[in-house]
Amino acid sequence: MRTRLQIGWTPADPTPVDTDLHARIDRMRALLAGRRLVALTGAGISTESGIPDYRSPGAPARTPMTLEMFLSSPQFRRHYWARNHLGWRHMDAARPNAAHEAITDLQQQGRLIGVITQNVDMLHTKAGTRRVLELHGCYGRVRCLACDWQISRHRLAAQLEALNMGFAERVRSRGAIEVAPDADATVDDTSDFTMIDCPACGGIVKPDIVYFGESVPKPTVQQAFSMLDEADALLVVGSSLTVMSGLRFARHARRTDKTVVIVNRGATRADDLADLKIDHLASVVLTALADPGSQTATTQTATRSSA
């Protein structure tokens, strides 16, 4: 299946922030009690770690690099790599926030099977979560499109630094650098940046990230569906599900009678599929969900009500 991503993203429509948060969290706990979860996460879970997203209400409209642009000319590739040379460091320095840690807690409690993430920031892995399926790849790897030669982003950074002495300092001297969710940075003049080709075959090297306009690999999609089929419920966190790469999992969960709970700031394309939608900070909602004491109290209340 080819996933054609939208270009020129604009923020999602806002939805009312939940004022009856405690009641909705209690309902979420009741809906998910005793169910095996899979989490589907998007950029909104990482905003509290300092990584911006494309879709939250109030986010600036962005036009990211597309695969077609990247492949079209050496000039586009140089421009991209110059920006990535600055932006990836911001992403690498980011640390997991309470929402990532809560997901790890849910897994350690035996309640969460794994995570399907649309993010490339590796924050789930940094938080200690296991069985993380990265739909769109990750910023930490670079590969050749011709021969599949690979190198870590850290090792490549050292090579680029040696070829572009003083480049980062020159850009920073012109003012603050705006960083995008895909480890890109806003830089206008990149004419003096030098990029390398594949040392093995001379081919084009590219971050191991699914670009806008690129396909999510079929084996990755199949693994994601298999993981979801093991679960009883889908917990969507921080994704507007604007593109099919995430929306199809919500639709599959609904078709297979799984519980669907969405935690996201702003509207999503699956709001009408959800058993419950909570518009609030992911860290607040997930921390409450992962709190064993709160879960026990909710379960006891439900048991007394049914007695």
Asked if residue 188 is part of any domain, the answer here is: yes
Least confident span in 28-37, 113-122, 174-183: 174-183
Ligand-binding site membership of 53 (annotated): yes
Asked if residue 3 is part of any domain, the answer here is: no
Asked if residue 13 is part of any domain, the answer here is: no
Which range marks the domain in which residue 125 is found? 21-306
Q: Rounding to the nearest 10 degrees, give the CA dihedral for residues 294, 130, 247, 9.
A: 100
Ligand-binding site membership of 304 (annotated): no
Asked if residue 145 is part of any domain, the answer here is: yes
Instruction: Output 248 or 305, whichever has higher pLDDT.
Output: 248
Ligand-binding site membership of 158 (annotated): no
Ligand-binding site membership of 191 (annotated): no
The pTM assigned to this predicted structure is 0.84
Asked if residue 94 is part of any domain, the answer here is: yes
Asked if residue 5 is part of any domain, the answer here is: no
Q: Which residues are the active-site residues? A: 136
Asked if residue 10 is part of any domain, the answer here is: no
Provide the domain count of the chain: 1
Ligand-binding site membership of 97 (annotated): no
pLDDT of 125 above 70: yes
Asked if residue 301 is part of any domain, the answer here is: yes
pLDDT of residue 91: 87
In DSSP terms, 45 is beta-bridged to: none
Instruction: Output 278 or 60, whichever has higher pLDDT.
Output: 278
Specify the CATH number for the domain of residue 195.
Answer: 3.40.50.1220
CB atoms within 10 A of CB 218: 10
Q: Which residue has the tokens 């480049």?
A: 167
Residues 251 and 159: their CA atoms lie apart, in Å, by 44
